[in-house]
């Protein structure tokens, strides 16, 4: 068994997040080395009391040069025994795998990391594992793309293989529209996939996996589909589903099937599904090997008492070498609302039901989490607050800047 006190955990963060991960590592006595972007230096408010060393890496618009990073980390490793490499942001998942393979640090390698980052790779692997996925084609061979649009009725969704937050996703309605858009992509074409737009509701399952077993999974449903909120504006909502419902059971089971098809060994995952309006089929939409963004971790914590960042730290520290168990979660219900606000500091104090447990503190944003032992009560509050948010705060949302992820 490894001695936690001797463990050095290198955390990569090209974006500021995961404070609870860092704190949990410290609580357990591990050494924490944080490598983050130079451009965040003056903005980020890292929990410095939980970090042993912090290094700033030059970045180009948040992106690191792989070779420079490899050199920098290898240099650090001359005088530090690095035992784990953990990506705090989704964009760091692949680069963490690349560094692990180079330094021969245990954990997810590059091939597997692609299944959790590349929407094409995850689709192909999930389909091979027998999961239902929206029909898709890689925007690579034009003959194949033509056969796809002849065979699969529109509308279609054209999406980049590895971006998040509905960035760059376009809904395409007719065949005539497709080729000019694809042509314009030029050399970027092969970084895209085209898939059938499946009308339905969008759900997410957030889970903790240890030694291939899903030890905790909680299913939630978005209000309006994230793409609509992102493209048309509006209020982003999501709420925990009724734990006793058939839909919850089906989503949780499908999530386990996704984790096993993609070979998730240990970690946390935020996985999304479409439940089709046509026949309630559950389609696998996308997954990730990280804690969900857009305050979903706060939602899950409100309902279950589990902080996914802290749990992930425990999982990484245990590392398959010692036992890890999830404490029995609380079974409350919770719902989250977020809207862009026309006010710089929107005042949410009139949303004063006792169920409000969290308020967002971010310029030009209004956000709340409500919690109740009753699923119906959460539904009721979300419905009424959504209407009130629309008149109190909602601002025009420029495309691609919605607070979804």
* Interface of this chain with ligand ADP, residues 87 to 126, rule: CB under 6 A: 119
Nearest to 337 by CA among 231, 226, 242, 223: 223
* Contact flags string 258-287 toward ligand ADP, x per CB under 6 A: --------------x-x----------xx-
Among 157, 208, 306, 338, binds ligand ADP (CB under 6 A): 157
* Contact flags string 36-75 toward ligand ADP, x per CB under 6 A: ----------------------------------------
Nearest to 267 by CA among 245, 239, 288: 288
Q: How far is the CB of 270 from Mg ion (least distance, A)?
A: 8
- Interatomic CA distance for residues 150 and 65, integer angstroms: 41
- Interatomic CA distance for residues 109 and 114, integer angstroms: 9
Sign of CA dihedral 80, 83, 89, 90: positive
Q: How far is the CB of 272 from Mg ion (least distance, A)?
A: 5
Q: How far is the CB of 138 from ligand ADP (least distance, A)?
A: 15
Q: How far is the CB of 178 from Mg ion (least distance, A)?
A: 22
Q: Is 186:212 a contact under the CB 8 Å cutoff?
A: no
* Interface of this chain with Mg ion, residues 181 to 200, rule: CB under 5 A: none
**Strand 170-172 relative to strand 192-196: parallel, antiparallel, unpaired?**
unpaired
Q: How far is the CB of 204 from Mg ion (least distance, A)?
A: 8
Q: How far is the CB of 271 from ligand ADP (least distance, A)?
A: 10
Q: Interface with ligand ADP includes 205 (CB under 6 A)?
A: no
Report helix angle 296-304 to 308-318, nearest 10. 90
What's the CA angle centered on 261, arms 323 and 102, to 5 degrees?
Answer: 65
- Residue 231 or 377: the one with the smaller Cβ distance to ligand ADP is 231
Q: Which stretch binds ligand ADP (CB under 6 A): 51-59, 159-167, 322-330, 367-375?
A: 159-167
- Residue 165 or 263: the one with the smaller Cβ distance to ligand ADP is 165
**Strand 267-276 relative to strand 200-210: parallel, antiparallel, unpaired?**
antiparallel
* Interface of this chain with Mg ion, residues 256 to 275, rule: CB under 5 A: 272
- Interatomic CA distance for residues 152 and 197, integer angstroms: 10
Q: Which stretch binds ligand ADP (CB under 6 A): 8-16, 165-173, 206-214, 289-297?
A: 165-173
Q: Interface with ligand ADP includes 296 (CB under 6 A)?
A: no
Q: Interface with ligand ADP includes 164 (CB under 6 A)?
A: yes
Among 134, 223, 234, 403, binds ligand ADP (CB under 6 A): 134
Q: Interface with ligand ADP includes 225 (CB under 6 A)?
A: yes
Among 165, 233, 263, 329, binds ligand ADP (CB under 6 A): 165
Q: Which stretch binds ligand ADP (CB under 6 A): 18-26, 123-131, 146-154, 164-172?
A: 164-172
> Phi and psi for 333 in degrees, rounded to 5?
-110, 150
The option from ligand ADP, Mg ion, none interacting with 139 (CB < 5 to 8 A, set by class) reads none
Q: Interface with ligand ADP includes 169 (CB under 6 A)?
A: yes
Q: Interface with ligand ADP includes 202 (CB under 6 A)?
A: yes
Q: How far is the CB of 182 from ligand ADP (least distance, A)?
A: 17
Q: How far is the CB of 222 from Mg ion (least distance, A)?
A: 9
Token digits of residue 341: 């606000």
First to last CA, the chain: 37
The option from ligand ADP, Mg ion, none interacting with 197 (CB < 5 to 8 A, set by class) reads ligand ADP
**Strand 200-210 relative to strand 156-160: parallel, antiparallel, unpaired?**
unpaired
Q: Interface with ligand ADP includes 86 (CB under 6 A)?
A: no
- Interatomic CA distance for residues 35 and 95, integer angstroms: 12
What's the CA angle centered on 117, arms 116 and 121, to 5 degrees?
Answer: 80
What does the binding site for Mg ion look like in residue numbers (CB under 5 A)?
Answer: 272
What does the binding site for ligand ADP look like in residue numbers (CB under 6 A)?
Answer: 119, 134, 157, 159, 164-166, 169, 195-198, 202, 225-227, 272, 274, 285-286
């Amino acid at each position: 068994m490894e001695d936690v006190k001797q463990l050095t955990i290198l955390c990569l963060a090209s974006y500021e997040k995961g404070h609870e991960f860092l704190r949990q590592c410290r609580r357990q006595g591990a050494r924490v080395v944080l490598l983050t972007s130079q451009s965040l230096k003056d903005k980020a408010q890292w929990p410095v009391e939980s970090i042993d060393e912090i290094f700033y890496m030059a970045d180009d618009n948040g992106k690191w040069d792989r070779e420079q990073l490899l050199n920098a980390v290898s240099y650090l490793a001359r005088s530090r025994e690095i035992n784990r490499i953990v990506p705090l942001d989704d964009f760091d998942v692949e680069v963490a795998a690349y560094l692990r393979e180079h330094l021969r640090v245990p954990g997810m390698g590059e091939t597997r990391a692609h299944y959790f980052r590349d929407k094409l790779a995850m689709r192909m692997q999930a389909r091979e594992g027998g999961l239902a996925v929206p029909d898709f084609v890689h925007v690579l061979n034009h003959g194949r793309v033509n056969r796809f649009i002849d065979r699969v009725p529109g509308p279609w969704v054209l999406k980049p293989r590895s971006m998040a937050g509905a960035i760059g996703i376009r809904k395409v309605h007719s065949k005539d529209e497709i080729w000019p858009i694809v042509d314009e992509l030029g050399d970027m074409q092969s970084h895209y996939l085209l898939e059938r737009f499946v009308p339905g509701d969008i759900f997410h399952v957030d889970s903790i996996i240890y030694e291939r077993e899903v030890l905790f999974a909680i299913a939630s449903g978005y209000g309006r589909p994230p793409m609509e909120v992102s493209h048309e504006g509006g209020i982003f909502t999501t709420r925990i589903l009724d734990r006793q419902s058939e839909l919850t059971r089906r989503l949780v089971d499908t999530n386990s099937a996704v984790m096993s098809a993609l070979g998730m060994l240990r970690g946390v995952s935020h996985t999304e599904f479409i439940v089709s309006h046509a026949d309630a089929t559950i389609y696998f939409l996308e997954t990730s090997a990280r804690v969900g963004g857009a305050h979903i971790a706060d939602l899950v914590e409100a309902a279950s008492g589990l902080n996914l960042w802290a749990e992930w730290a425990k999982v990484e520290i245990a590392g398959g070498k010692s036992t890890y168990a999830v404490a029995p979660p609380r079974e409350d219900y919770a719902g989250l609302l977020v809207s862009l606000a026309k006010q710089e500091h929107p005042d949410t104090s009139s949303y004063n039901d006792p169920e409000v447990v969290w308020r967002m503190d971010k310029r030009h944003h209004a956000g709340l989490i409500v919690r109740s032992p009753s699923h119906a009560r959460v539904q009721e509050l979300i419905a009424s607050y959504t209407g009130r948010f629309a008149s109190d705060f909602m601002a025009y949302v420029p495309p691609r800047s919605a607070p979804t992820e």
